[in-house]
Structure 1
Amino acid sequence: MKYIYLVLLGVLVVASCKQKEAVPKEWVFVKTIQLEGVYPIGIVALDGKLWLSDGDNNRLVQIDANGKIEQKVDSLERPMHIDADGESLYIPQYGEDNIATLKNGVLGVLALKDSLDAPAGVSVFKNEKAIADFYNNRILYSDGDEWISFGKEGKKQGEFYYPTDVQITDSLIWVADAYNNRIQAFDKKGGFVKMMGQDQKMNAATGIFVSEQEVFVTDFENDRVLIFDHEGKLLQEISQNIEKATDLMLFNSQLYVINYRNGKINVFNFDEVPRSEVE
């Protein structure tokens, strides 16, 4: 009899654990950070600080947790989707057709043998770099030694219609194919691997952020963020407080989404969904 009770107790414990694991989680709105006079296009973190590209004002700004500007870098030409490598900021200058760099307060220019036409996004990962070359409808990618170019204008897989943002991960290069309204992923030789979001009726997929498990994309004209798994399954749609969002990123385990139109940053936590919303 004692053995039976122990077995029943074990079954109840396992069932309880499974029930807890089954509670769904999603990104839940936490707060809004209001910016003053900043209309952000790109966002990145460097040394624990948030940097924004303020395209309308041709500058970068570094802000504190309340959105107050702590540093400014002026005299840029329409900075777009920025990135950082731990030491430097990389700044696509849409109006200057180059990638500016900022290290220790000194501006420079990334050396390229090829010419750009309105670069809209840049990604750095270890020794690798990738550039979304907007009007050339292509991606430039370097493994640290050589640069390659892939893509052309079109709607077929592997083709682009104004790529706006790019991110390198361990094995793939992810591209926000803005006006094809989709995300595409490529291997590091430029070979097409997969696409996602093409069935979600997006209208301008402008910004992308890829975590270990999720792919986040800003659906600019539809005022929403779509979140997929790496195979393209839609996990969540966020529209609360989203207004002309251009970019997003994970920072200190929170999701930061920037609104271009009203100069706001919306912050989300990954949390359990209230049972009333699930039932």
Structure 2
Amino acid sequence: MKLNYRGALYPVILSVLFICGQPAPAHALPRDVVRFEKAKESFREGYVYFNHQKYLAAVEYFRKAIAEYPDYMTAREYLARSYRLAGYKEEAIREWEAFLEEAPDNVLVRQKIEALRYQDVKELSGFSIGEFVLADEVASDEMRRYRFPNPVDFTVDAEKNVYITSFSSGKLIKIDPNKEGLDTYNAGMSSKLYGIDHFNGRLAVADFGEDMVYIMDTSLKVRSKIGAAGNGEGSFHGPQGLCFDAKGYIYVADSGNHRVQKFDPGGRFLLSFGKQGEYEGELYRPTDVAVSGDNVYVLDNGNNRVACFDDSGNFIKNVAVPESRSMRGISLFKENILIADEKTGLIVYNPSSEKSLVKSSWEKKSRSFSKLFSALMDRDEYLYCLDFGAESLYVFNPLQRHYANFDVEIASVDVSKYPVIAFYVSVRDRGGKPLYGLKRDNFQVIEDKVPMSGLYVDYLKDKDTSSSMVFCVDRSEDMRQYHNDVPWVAEFILQKMRTNDSFRVASAAADYVSETDFDWSRRRALAALGGAGYGAGKNIGKALYNSITDLVPRINRRGVIFLTDGVLDEKSFSQYTADNIIFFANSHHIPIYIVSFKEKSRTLERIALSTGGAYYFTRQVENLKGIYEKIHGAEENRYVLVYSTLRSATVNGWWSEVKLEVSYKNQKGQEWGGYFVP
């Protein structure tokens, strides 16, 4: 669109300057129009780089746009976004603060600054489980054919779907995060479903009435059954609570036999521990079990205590919880034990301090639990409490987060298939943790003040799982001695790769060099690993930064593997700091795995652990074997919002303003953006 400042279009074009809500200047002069036209061209160039996720290149053009026209607030806001997505937190905050000097009432920008500042504070302050606010409630009598009378236990999967067992009806109910019933499983007339747990797409469900444990998938299809009535190995008499451990082993509280039984992931009996009694190592009608590491915690309800064993069934100790009166369910969160007591309410017990906290009511004590049977904290720190008496599932939110907004961030916009538009989006809580499992109903897209329909959000979820990895090798002179071992380390990953995976070999000394394109060729990767040379310098910061940069545009699971001797020099992080690397990687959910031949660097270890990766030595063969699975099996936490615009393509060059809104459990978040009509 050609600008004619004397025509009616001039105010419209100038309004692009102030997408964030500020009015256009009323006294614009012809030279202002010329300057703005130059600034707009720079902005469009930067916008192209932004959408290709080349954020540092975008920074240069957005800075140029602001230099041409200092009041170009949209350019300044996109400059701040680009800094943030490029790993420069303080620079992003500085630009947003400059924005607020001109538009102090802009709430969205203020919230972005507060979110970044809060993440720094949260790392130091921690989180108190004791303060929570009701965020949502699922009542059985409102669920129609998905009712769950006399509920006793529940679990939550990675997609935030809830599975509730109904003791009186013998049914298992599946409900989505927005309280829509999805599926039911009816075990039979004599069934009394009790405990349930979820692990890696599998459900384990105890049937108290049939003395059996069902292994199901998340579609509620029974894949196998464990046990029968009796007191022998692998048999049950009234099984109640159960759980998976981190390796998929199953522990069952065999209440009527006064013991706990352990099964391997295939359902084969391994061992049992406990017998009827009140002394050390003895149990009386245990109701539930939870596992953390090597420790097994059993609710020994008949003896009103928590019995602790190791994972081989050896007794460790008994823990008395003074507030307990009738313990029903147990779960673990960080260093705390959560006990659902049907008479007391929720008891939060800390084994280290031996202190406990009781929560039985909320909303200034106007509401309280009737008979609490089960409670757990999910990974997003929502507290779920299942009330047998009220036949309701309550969802609570930490108090300090309840009144905070979600942090919604647009990483890029794809208009290549116009009129189909795709926004690549991340959603985080105020602490910076990704929010998983959101559904279409949790999003709304408003384009030029018109709500868009037909939104599709599962593009990445529905794709076949694949992964992209950068295998970057430290090629400083001291690494030459390990040259023949480099391919050996890479083989732990290359041998497991599939045809839809991709692998890039890179080298780093004073500079970063990509040795191969992204592909799945083991032969090309090994040739590059064996053929690269060595040189002076050890610019590890640049190596990690560029490795992340290479992975940012990839739309599958991603990870960096950096092979080094663990030795740093004074210039290793002079160009890109460790904090830059961590913030950059976390902005795009890319873990970094450090593999060292020799030394352990605290700086590299901090980078690895802070990005969700790990620090391994080459001698830790079993850990090296697991890197591929950790990257390939990671959960996708980006969203692609796809919809068809109503705008005609005849308005080429028009800026369409878009607002994204997110709502979940009474919390909200929003972001604005837009695109130029191609």
Match of 1:35 in 2: 140
- For the 8 Å contact 1:27–1:268, the answer to whether it is kept is no
Match of 2:236 in 1: 116
Taking the TM superposition and a 5 Å limit, the aligned residue runs for 1:71-82 are 71-76=183-188, 77-82=191-196
- For the 8 Å contact 2:226–2:234, the answer to whether it is kept is no
Gap change, CA 1:24 and 1:52, over 3 Å in 2: closer
1:152 aligns with 2:301: no
Distance 1:23 1:151 in 2: 35
The counterpart of 1:167, out of the listed 246, 266, 290, is 290
Distance 2:321 2:214 in 1: 32
Match of 2:339 in 1: 217
Q: Which moved more, 1:176-185 or 1:88-97?
A: 176-185
Distance 1:177 1:254 in 2: 27
Distance 1:185 1:271 in 2: 32
The counterpart of 1:260, out of the listed 372, 388, 398, is 388
Say which SS state the counterpart of residue 261 (structure 1) adopts.
coil
RCO higher in structure (CA 8 A, sep ≥6): 1
Gap change, CA 1:72 and 1:143, over 3 Å in 2: closer
State the structure with more CA Rg: 2
Distance 1:256 1:238 in 2: 13
1:247 aligns with 2:369: no
Q: Which moved more, 1:168-177 or 1:109-118?
A: 109-118
Taking the TM superposition and a 5 Å limit, the aligned residue runs for 1:1-279 are 21=125, 26-33=130-137, 34-36=139-141, 37-38=147-148, 39-48=150-159, 49-76=161-188, 77-103=191-217, 104-112=219-227, 114-125=234-245, 126-142=247-263, 147-200=270-323, 202-222=324-344, 224-231=345-352, 233-240=354-361, 241-251=368-378, 252-271=380-399
TM-score, with normalisation over the residues of structure 1?
A: 0.82
Say which SS state the counterpart of residue 397 (structure 2) adopts.
strand
Say which SS state the counterpart of residue 179 (structure 1) adopts.
helix
Distance 1:162 1:206 in 2: 11
How far the C-alpha of 1:156 sits from its partner, in A, is: 1.8
Q: Which moved more, 1:137-146 or 1:93-102?
A: 137-146
Report the AA paired with residue 135 of structure 1: G
Runs (4 or more) in structure 1 with deviation over 4 Å come to 20-25, 143-146
- For the 8 Å contact 2:299–2:330, the answer to whether it is kept is yes
Distance 2:395 2:374 in 1: 12
Distance 1:67 1:196 in 2: 37
Distance 1:171 1:230 in 2: 15
- For the 8 Å contact 2:175–2:181, the answer to whether it is kept is yes
Distance 1:122 1:87 in 2: 16
How far the C-alpha of 1:24 sits from its partner, in A, is: 6.4
Distance 2:296 2:126 in 1: 33
Say which SS state the counterpart of residue 26 (structure 1) adopts.
coil
Kindly indicate which of the two structures has a greater share of residues assigned to strand.
1
Q: Which moved more, 1:102-111 or 1:248-257?
A: 102-111
Gap change, CA 1:154 and 1:227, over 3 Å in 2: same
Distance 2:225 2:353 in 1: 33
Distance 1:258 1:248 in 2: 6
Distance 1:216 1:82 in 2: 16
Say which SS state the counterpart of residue 84 (structure 1) adopts.
strand
Say which SS state the counterpart of residue 370 (structure 2) adopts.
coil
Match of 2:536 in 1: none
Say which SS state the counterpart of residue 163 (structure 1) adopts.
coil
How far the C-alpha of 1:64 sits from its partner, in A, is: 2.7
Distance 1:24 1:227 in 2: 11
Distance 2:166 2:310 in 1: 32
Count of paired positions: 253
- For the 8 Å contact 1:226–1:234, the answer to whether it is kept is no
Identity of aligned residues (%): 21
Gap change, CA 1:74 and 1:111, over 3 Å in 2: closer
Gap change, CA 1:23 and 1:111, over 3 Å in 2: closer
Distance 1:101 1:24 in 2: 35
Report the AA paired with residue 203 of structure 2: L
How far the C-alpha of 1:65 sits from its partner, in A, is: 3.2
TM-score, with normalisation over the residues of structure 2?
A: 0.35
Per-residue CA distance 1:153-186 (angstroms, 9 max, x = gap): 1122321111111112211111111222221221
- For the 8 Å contact 2:199–2:248, the answer to whether it is kept is no
How far the C-alpha of 1:71 sits from its partner, in A, is: 1.1
Cα RMSD of the aligned pairs, angstroms, is: 2.4
Report the AA paired with residue 127 of structure 1: G
Distance 2:183 2:257 in 1: 33
- For the 8 Å contact 1:35–1:68, the answer to whether it is kept is no
Say which SS state the counterpart of residue 389 (structure 2) adopts.
coil
Structure 2: stretches of 5+ with no match in the other structure? 1-120, 142-146, 228-232, 362-367, 402-678
Say which SS state the counterpart of residue 195 (structure 2) adopts.
coil
Kindly indicate which of the two structures has a greater share of residues assigned to helix.
2
Distance 1:101 1:22 in 2: 37
Gap change, CA 1:272 and 1:193, over 3 Å in 2: farther
